[in-house]
Amino acid sequence: MDETLDLLDTLLDGVSEPRLKLISADEGRALMVLLGLLDDAELPEDIRRAAGEMRSRLGSRLGARLA
């Protein structure tokens, strides 16, 4: 479980603005869906919380980029 949280943290930290520009809008939406599945699945609370935080941060960055 700790490995999963570390992976989510690494992914979240790795989505910097320059890297985000490499992700198309469709790819960004697909990532949001995948993170939503992690957030809704019957997983431990800490994984759901990390996925929700990552989804929120990615969504705000995508929203700013798409606006």
Residue 20 has pLDDT above 60, yes or no: no
The pLDDT-based confidence of 67 (bands split at 50, 70, 90) is: very low
| Range(s) of the domain holding residue 22 | 2-66
Dist CA 24 CA 47 (whole Å): 26
- Number of compact structural domains in the chain: 1
Q: What percent of the chain has pLDDT over 70?
A: 61
Dist CA 26 CA 43 (whole Å): 26
Residue 54's CB is within 10 A of a number of other CB atoms, namely: 21
